């Protein structure tokens, strides 16, 4: 039996998180769910965004499935997602992006994976005011952080039979920080001679992705670029409602949909659970249940291809529980 911490989240979080739980349970996998929440709803009740009980659950179980969580903007609260990533050192954010049948993707042949360094760069939050007219943020790139995200990327590419890794950077301007990142990816690339390696400046990469996404396979980049490019690439395959995500550390995995909590549609059964369901397949892969993960992927693919159970954002009228039920029945 595997114990998994389930964080329902808030907004539409509980709807999509419990949909993913139902789908995982439909495979018959032996999982014990430890349900502990965080976010705005919990804050209103307890005064804590991240309860101590949740941190203890994650420390114990080391595997987490997470729904989207709201972080208030401009109120002095740090992102819960960033806090969890840094506390548990989940240094690799992985987002597979693949065109799915019957969706609103711009292209029909996208199949790429974004690896984002997840713990440093500008997202370390080191910033201060110099005076009332000047604010400063410090970008931190380390050899350790760059080496391990590069190693994770090339290891993944080899295991999955991928052919090319593209490092994304701005070393033409940030010669020291992004230069260090490139030094590390180049060094790691030499250990994988069968995988093609190339480098692209981030602004050019944005243009390339919206024109020729089929030319790219696996992308690796520092934190901020990864946050932006993974959302850009999500638009190529139909939006964030379809894109899974994983945050991986040396001995821990946090799996989550990358979209927001959408409070405007919360409780209306309009939420698309596909991203959270597909995140659960990455979780199953992580715990060694690849056969069950593939059954879910095939079920999702089949339901979308048939087209009878699509949520509103996918051009249909199905409710959250209807598409979830259809996927469970396929399994």
Q: What per-residue confidence (pLDDT) applies to 76? A: 52
- The pLDDT score that the predictor gives to residue 77 is 58
CA separation for the pair 70, 43 (Å, rounded): 11
Domains and CATH numbers, the chain: 1-105+237-331 (3.40.718.10), 115-235 (3.40.50.2300)
So what's the pLDDT on residue 46?
82
pTM of the predicted model as reported, rounded to 2 decimal places: 0.93
Contacts of 101 (CB under 8 A, 6+ apart): 301, 304, 305
Q: Give pLDDT tens digits for 203-258.
A: 999 999 999 999 999 999 999 999 999 999 999 998 999 999 999 999 999 999 98
What pLDDT, on the 0 to 100 scale, is given for residue 1?
A: 92
Q: Which of 251, 245, 270, 285 is nearest to 81 (CA)?
A: 245
**Residues of the chain predicted below pLDDT 50:** none
What's the pLDDT at 200? 98
**pLDDT score, position 83:** 84
d(CA 6, CA 4): 6
User: Average model confidence (pLDDT) for the chain?
Assistant: 94
Token digits of residue 67: 């729904």
Six token digits for residue 233? 């690439």
What pLDDT was estimated at residue 43?
80
pLDDT at position 42 = 82
Which pLDDT score, from 0 to 100, does residue 56 have?
A: 96
Q: Where are the alpha helices (DSSP H) in the chain?
A: 13-26, 40-46, 52-61, 80-87, 143-159, 177-189, 202-211, 223-236, 274-286, 290-306, 320-330
- What per-residue confidence (pLDDT) applies to 279? 98
| Spatial CA neighbour of 205 closest among 112, 140, 94, 119 | 112
């Amino acid at each position: 039996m595997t114990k998994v911490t389930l964080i329902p989240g808030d907004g539409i979080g509980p709807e999509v998180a419990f949909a993913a739980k139902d789908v995982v349970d439909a495979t018959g996998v032996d999982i014990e769910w430890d349900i502990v929440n965080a976010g705005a709803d919990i804050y209103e009740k307890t005064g804590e965004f991240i309860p101590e009980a949740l941190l203890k659950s994650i420390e114990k179980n080391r595997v987490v499935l997470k729904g989207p969580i709201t972080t208030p903007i401009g109120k002095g609260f740090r992102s819960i997602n960033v806090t969890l990533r840094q506390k548990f050192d989940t240094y690799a954010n992985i987002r597979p992006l693949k065109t799915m049948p019957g969706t609103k993707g711009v292209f029909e042949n996208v199949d790429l994976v974004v690896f984002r360094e997840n713990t440093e760069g500008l997202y370390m939050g080191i910033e201060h005011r110099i005076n009332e007219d000047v604010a400063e943020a410090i970008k931190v790139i380390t050899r350790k952080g760059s080496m391990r995200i590069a190693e994770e990327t090339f290891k993944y590419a080899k295991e999955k039979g991928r052919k090319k890794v593209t490092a994304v950077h701005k070393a033409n301007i940030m010669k020291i920080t992004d230069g260090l990142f490139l030094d590390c990816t180049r060094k790691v690339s030499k250990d994988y001679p069968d995988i093609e390696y190339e480098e692209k400046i981030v602004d050019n990469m944005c243009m390339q992705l919206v024109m020729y996404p089929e030319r790219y396979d696996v992308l690796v980049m520092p934190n901020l670029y990864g946050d932006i490019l993974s959302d850009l690439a999500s638009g190529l395959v139909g939006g964030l409602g379809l894109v899974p995500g994983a945050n991986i550390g040396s001995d821990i995995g946090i799996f989550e949909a990358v979209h927001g909590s959408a409070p405007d549609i919360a409780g209306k059964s309009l939420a698309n659970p596909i991203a959270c369901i597909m995140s659960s397949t990455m979780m199953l892969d992580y715990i060694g249940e690849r056969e069950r993960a593939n059954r879910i992927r095939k079920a999702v693919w089949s339901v979308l291809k048939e087209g009878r159970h699509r949520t509103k954002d996918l051009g249909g009228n199905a409710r959250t529980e209807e598409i979830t039920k259809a996927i469970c029945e396929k399994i």
